[in-house]
Structure 1
Amino acid sequence: MEWTIQELAARAGITSRTLRHYDRVGLLVPSRVGANGYRYYNPTAVARLQRILLMRRLGMGLPAIAEVLAEEVDALDGLRAHIAALEEERDRIERQVRSVRHTLEALQAGVEPRMDVMLAGFNDLYKDEVISRWGEHAFQVSNDWWHGKSLDQQRAWKQDTDDLVAAWVAAVKAGDSPTSEHAQSLAARHVQWLSQIPGTPAAEGDRERSIEMVNGIGDMFVDDPRFAAMYDDEAGATFVRDALHAYAHTRM
């Protein structure tokens, strides 16, 4: 099957002049030229044009495109690389769409679009810690999950989080022991809270890594001043850490 230069230009959304220019610079030569001087393009040539147009859309100039195509040993590997680049671009655009949608919903609800963590993302502030402790996959999956929520769903989740923190603080003020039944029930509630977040070991049912995660989170509460402040002071953060450690050691 072949297409004339006019047919290919029309299907590709470009001009015949562009195709002739690609021919002149050696970027895309026709598969054959008829006796009447017409240029014809077979599927192999069309596949090459597809890749040229993809690279152009990614902002590459013609000399750079020519260099990429000239250095390729396997056209299939080149196509795979382009699929990966397009998927990355798609993910970036999807994140932007979610961000703008959240901003719109916030404005329609009469609240500030950038209030607290609601639109900043569930774990954006702690991206480096999440990746270093549990990997890029854990961050990306949980971050996508958070940004996929509606504004009302984010509010509900944040309220549940605030309620859990308040319950921990109340237990500390009541003089409970980290190993008391009440403190251990809070630890169980905390682990259940974590299991709702996609990408975490708790959500994936990985017992060994879940124990490691719970212990690591407990340590982070004490080591990071931001978390100590969340639980009123270092003593509060230490109580939560000890309760989580005890729960991970005896009940997970």
Structure 2
Amino acid sequence: MSDRTDNASVAAKAPHGISDVARAAGVSSRTLRHYDAIGLLPATAVGEGGLRRYDDGALVRLQRILLLRGLGLGLSEIARVLDGEQDDVAALRAHVTWLEQERDRLARQLAAVRTTITRIERGDDMTTHDTFDGFDQTRFRQEVEERWGADAWQRGQDWWSASDPAAKAAFQAEQRAIATDAAALAVSDDAPTSAAGTALARRQLAWLAQAPGPALTADRFRTLADMYVHDERFTQAYEWAGPGAARALRDAMHALADAGAV
């Protein structure tokens, strides 16, 4: 009788079995057990036969894990994001904004590809606008050229094209790590001038300095910092890690420049 009572209590507390969760989320039960073992997604309870079970809060956490994993983050980075941002609703709203932008971009790409198929089948001429709508890799080009010269964009493109896959991966991983730390700073009590804020701004300075272009003066550093907040395209490069990440990074960068360290 006591076993049945205990099992009923477990099911009421955590109604979602590991097999059902794994199947619905498109991951394996082994993956969920691994997430449990490393503390990324602890099972809410353990039922009969040692089977892990999950409550609604665990489902929300798993959704966030999958969203962050889809952005290319490693498990250790994901853990830092989730541990640094406890407001699930605010974090998910930031994800919604990013996902809506991605949805719109993918919808445009889908329409462009369908148009291409139709034109090929009909023997119609191609147009550059219809063919490449949604593929705009140069969406920041105008800002870069207006601020730092006509050849600044091309130099950056040439540098990126010449970088090997490992260098590109490392560059992108550092940007994601900076975004994660910026999100953590946003929810902490640390000021932009704190040790954490200074370290964050110095990492951003070193990351930016990897790319060729005009010298990173204090004024240019501040301008870049402001763009992270005032231009939503740049903001989303950091806000996926948590609300306030772009603003926290901006403030830290300003503080570093004001201190004469740039």
Q: TM-score range by the shorter chain?
A: 0.3 to 0.5
Higher relative contact order (CA 8 A, sep 6+): 2
Normalising by structure 2, we get a TM-score of 0.44
Q: Which has the larger radius of gyration?
A: 1
